[in-house]
Amino acid sequence: MPARAGLTIPTEADRLPLLDLVRGVAVLGILAINLGAYAGPIAASLSPHLPDPGSRADEAWFALNTIIFEGKMRALFTLLFGASLLLFIDRAEARDPGDLVAGERLQLRRLGWLALFGYLHFLLLWWGDILFTYAIAGFAALAFRQARPAALMIAGVTLFAGWHLTMAAVGLPQIRAEERVLQAVAPPAEAQAYARERRKDAVATARELAGYRRGFAAQVIGKLSTQPDEPLRAAVGTLGESLPLMLIGMALFRTGLYAGHWSRRRLAGLAALGIGIGGLLTGLLVAFAWSRHFPPVRMVQMLAYHMALPHLLMALGYLAALILAAPALLRTALGDRLVAAGRMAFSNYLGMTVVMTSLFYGWGLGWVGQVPEHWLWPFLLGGWALMLGWSRPWLARFRHGPLEWLWRCLTYGRRMPLRR
């Protein structure tokens, strides 16, 4: 089917296998963190002792996940999203050089549809959607697309560090109050106030779990009636993370990182620095929290703000290490399947929500709140096997993943070919 006049459709030759490889690793890693949120209430993603006290094995699994995956995969995926914003526009402008705003117009339409997908993901399936956040941050990031790489990097790092350091400072009094309670040196009024907050949290968590055990229609109606604006509030509340990471990702793209313009020595240095220093800081923070059995107030602040810079360092280290390994990895069967999973990251991300909520929520098997933290690993391995197993055979028969194809059709305003 021919393209409309003035609109050239991208082909598979426009893709960068390296981006797809890293995206494939990221979408697998994101499942490791999302699993705790699928299997339990929101509180379960913050501590192995919420909503109920966990075992030493639960603590170990939670700590391992936090050190390796928590925050790093989300940061990696957001960096890639920033790069893909520019790649999409560059490719569109290269195909239609007579239309100077074709790329931006298409990208705005693309982000608009992504926001709708994200809202439906939240409303119909799962509270933890990130697509709506990406769309909102993407709209803001487009305002910086003409900036030089150095300006993008400085702006991204400054915003990222400034936001998280400020919010960490704001939360310090709460952490100190909790510490006094845990050490039994808090004034009686402070200890009573802390106990009241924990009881309120327990009641809210019980109500949340009861909601997840209801049927599909009841959950959708419940979200519409009690929290219809949750995706927007989440997007605004995390803009201090998502927007700066996208700017950093745009800067790295403009430096030619994904086109092979960085030397191996430079990549090795970034990998060693990022994984080494970031991993050390992450490990120290996790060890400190573990020694106190992951108390709730500290964990909220630590996961949201205190670990942000170590997360970013490790994500950059992971990125550099994957680029170093790519020439050899892309020649293997595993690398081929990771690339396929990355090309279908949208379908895989939402597909895992469908699979996992069907196992844990009331419209499926109803296992929510029943699987201990340390028994989530079979679900993780099963999810990885599904993503790696179906993506390559699907792309052997079809040009795009099913949701990638739908998103593409909506962006270009026409039915695109799917079968090869």
Strand partners, 398: 419
**Is 173's pLDDT higher than 80?**
yes
Instruction: State mean pLDDT over 396-401.
Output: 96
Q: How far apart are CA 352 and CA 28, in angstroms?
A: 10
For 47, left (φ over 0), alpha (ψ -120 to 50), or beta? beta
**Is 401's pLDDT higher than 60?**
yes
Q: How far apart are CA 118 and CA 138, in angstroms?
A: 13
Q: At what angle do helices 17-39 and 308-329 cross, to 10 degrees?
A: 130
The candidate with the shortest Cα–Cα distance to 48, out of 56, 366, 291, is 56
- Span 187-200, pLDDT tens digits: 999 999 999 999 99
Range of the domain at 117: 48-323+359-368
- Band (pLDDT 50/70/90 cuts) for residue 284 is very high
**Is 15's pLDDT higher than 80?**
no
Question: Considering the domain boundaries, does residue 417 fall inside one?
Answer: no
Identify the pLDDT of residue 238. 95
Number of compact structural domains in the chain: 1
Identify the pLDDT of residue 14. 52
Contact 62, 49 (CB under 8 A): no
Identify the pLDDT of residue 99. 60
Question: Considering the domain boundaries, does residue 302 fall inside one?
Answer: yes
- Span 116-166, pLDDT tens digits: 999 999 999 999 999 999 999 999 999 999 999 999 999 999 999 999 999
Question: Considering the domain boundaries, does residue 336 fall inside one?
Answer: no
Question: Considering the domain boundaries, does residue 399 fall inside one?
Answer: no
- Span 229-250, pLDDT tens digits: 999 999 999 999 999 999 999 9
Question: Considering the domain boundaries, does residue 35 fall inside one?
Answer: no
Contact 80, 19 (CB under 8 A): yes
For residue 86, with 0-12 CB atoms within 10 Å meaning exposed, 13-18 middle and 19 or more buried, which class applies? buried
- Band (pLDDT 50/70/90 cuts) for residue 80 is very high
Cβ of 161: how many Cβ atoms within 10 Å?
14
Q: Which of 11-20, 218-227, 324-333, 372-381 has the lowest mean pLDDT?
A: 11-20
- Span 261-276, pLDDT tens digits: 899 999 999 999 999 9
Q: How far apart are CA 56 and CA 68, in angstroms?
A: 18
Q: How far apart are CA 95 and CA 319, in angstroms?
A: 29
**Is 342's pLDDT higher than 70?**
yes
Instruction: State mean pLDDT over 312-335.
Output: 96
Identify the pLDDT of residue 128. 93
**Is 2's pLDDT higher than 70?**
no
Question: Considering the domain boundaries, does residue 36 fall inside one?
Answer: no
Question: Considering the domain boundaries, does residue 37 fall inside one?
Answer: no
Question: Considering the domain boundaries, does residue 200 fall inside one?
Answer: yes
Mean pLDDT of the chain: 93
